[in-house]
Amino acid sequence: MPVQVSPLTEADIPGAVSAIQEAFADDPYNNWVFDKSRFSPQRNAASLGLRCQWGMRNGIFQVAKEEGSDEVLGVACWLRHQSAGQPPSWYDWFESWRLWFNQVGMNLYYGRGGLNVKNYARRHELVWSDALYGVPSRVGPLSRVASFKWPCQYSDLNQTSAWLSGIDSFMQAPADLIDLQRYYIWKEAQAKAQSAVWTDPRGYYFLNIMVILPKAQNKGIGRLMMKAVTDQADAEDMNCYLESSRDVPNMQIYGRFGFKFAKELECNDDDTAINLFAMVREPHAGPQTN
């Protein structure tokens, strides 16, 4: 039966979530960010479900299914390009808050679900923590309050979402300790890589999630899903971007789709480190050797 790529629907979400969980079960990023002994698949499924709903409203979220079948064989989530220096729209801002409130609700219900945490206060300082909860013994000089920004003041959605995640982290932290999840180490590395690699002021189609069920891999479904958006990017003469959690074989596979290695992201938590691989696809790019 031929495979078709279509927009994710509410009915596809459980299948999409289990495809993501299955394909990422032994993923290096997942193994690093989650403490496997405390990992909660239920919390993870709830979190991915929220992401799916957010992605349906805000991104390009697609599934691959065989004609006439409801089984989700592949999932791809792209974030739309956003011009550099352009502040998020009120709609984006509202959506960030909506996602955040939903995530806080989920965290209150499920807890952290095995996300690895570390002492945040020792090594980092957060501007917002000063401004909102400025107790000198805990947060240091209050002079930094001057540099406080509300999320709507950032021009970059990643910074906005880091802000929101920071608040989330604080609310989840014990009263006398601010924890930083490895998630935020990754977010920092990601922001650095993107500011170095994203040189096109028109922005990039950002491939955020791409998975094909293990049993359906290497049958051309990834190419089909990729083409659904790279064709659009080519028609608009836009660049695409992704961060792969594996060099082998993914860099080679993405190279077949025209992506070229651009930068390594090192996520280091007290010498427990992983590297991710940022790749860029220029419009109409043919196969690349990485």
Q: Is 215 helix (H, G, I), strand (E, B) or coil?
A: helix
d(CA 283, CA 239): 6
Q: How far is the CB of 64 from ligand COA (least distance, A)?
A: 9
Q: Compare residues 86 and 252 and give the one whose CB is closer to ligand COA.
A: 252
Q: How many CA atoms lie within 13 A of 104 on its CB side?
A: 15
Q: How far is the CB of 227 from ligand COA (least distance, A)?
A: 9
Q: How far is the CB of 170 from ligand COA (least distance, A)?
A: 29
Q: Compare residues 157 and 216 and give the one whose CB is closer to ligand COA.
A: 216
Q: Compare residues 19 and 173 and give the one whose CB is closer to ligand COA.
A: 19
d(CA 243, CA 250): 10
Q: How far is the CB of 104 from ligand COA (least distance, A)?
A: 27
Q: Compare residues 9 and 218 and give the one whose CB is closer to ligand COA.
A: 218
Tell me, what DSSP letter sits at residue 14?
H
Q: Is 142 helix (H, G, I), strand (E, B) or coil?
A: helix
Tell me, what DSSP letter sits at residue 192?
H
Sequence length of the chain is: 290
- The sign of the torsion formed by the CA atoms of 22, 23, 28, 30 equals negative
Q: How far is the CB of 105 from ligand COA (least distance, A)?
A: 28
Q: Compare residues 23 and 189 and give the one whose CB is closer to ligand COA.
A: 23
Binding site for ligand COA (CB under 6 A): 23, 210-212, 217-223, 244-246, 249-250, 252-253, 256
